[in-house]
């Protein structure tokens, strides 16, 4: 159980019609975000910003476009996130010496310290999340999820699946 009080909530069941990848992945994603948000509570960063910081820490000096693709968000949104993380003193960007238009990303000392301080809690939360599975099943699940993600990367575009805004025709009444 998480730190939050979940007593009195109805046990979750999965309907037979919802035992499909899209629904289960969406629900799993909700759960993962909830677990991550609990750890980040009071830190003034979001789960996706946490993920961006992880990607930067793993590949320091990487460009913004590469990080956006790696994390699966559009470059404009990443740029806004980097602005926010930079204002908080967690990330710094500098001009790429090989491409004056490009920006290299680095965690600051403060950003690195935050990642290192919260990492044990995050790992513990991940263990709690996967507690219903054996160690072998956990490894298998993560391996299978990674294989599915890699094999279907063509669908992993920012905003994929969202409805496009409807264009008004000249005959549509104004709001």
What pLDDT does 3 receive?
Answer: 46
pLDDT confidence of residue 149: 85
Q: What is the spatial distance between Cα 105 and Cα 52, in angstroms, rounded to a whole number?
A: 10
Q: Rounded to the nearest 10 degrees, what angle do helices 21-40 and 47-58 cross at?
A: 90
56-89 pLDDT, tens digit each: 999 999 998 899 988 888 889 999 999 999 999 9
Instruction: For residue 45, give the nearest of 13, 72, 81 by alpha carbon.
Output: 81
Summarised one tens digit per residue, pLDDT across range 97-150 is 888 888 899 999 999 999 999 999 999 999 999 999 999 999 999 999 999 988
What is the dihedral sign for C-alpha 28, 32, 38, 42?
negative
pLDDT at 171 over 80: no
Fold of 17-116: Arc Repressor Mutant, subunit A (1.10.10)
Q: How far apart are CA 120 and CA 132, in angstroms?
A: 20
């Amino acid at each position: 159980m998480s730190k939050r009080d979940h007593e009195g909530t109805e046990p979750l069941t999965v309907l037979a019609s919802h035992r499909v990848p899209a629904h289960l992945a969406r629900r799993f994603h909700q759960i993962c975000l909830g677990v991550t948000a609990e750890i980040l509570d009071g830190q003034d960063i979001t789960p996706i910003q946490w993920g961006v910081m992880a990607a930067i820490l793993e590949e320091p000096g990487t460009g913004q476009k590469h990080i956006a693709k790696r994390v699966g968000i559009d470059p404009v949104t990443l740029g806004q996130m980097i602005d926010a993380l930079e204002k908080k003193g967690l990330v710094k960007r500098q001009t790429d010496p090989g491409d004056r238009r490009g920006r290299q990303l680095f965690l600051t000392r403060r950003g690195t310290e935050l990642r290192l301080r919260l990492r044990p809690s995050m790992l513990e939360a991940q263990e709690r999340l996967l507690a219903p599975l054996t160690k072998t099943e956990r490894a298998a699940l993560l391996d299978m999820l990674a294989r599915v993600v890699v094999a279907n990367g063509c669908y992993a575009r920012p905003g994929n699946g969202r409805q496009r805004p409807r264009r008004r025709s000249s005959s549509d009444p104004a709001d």
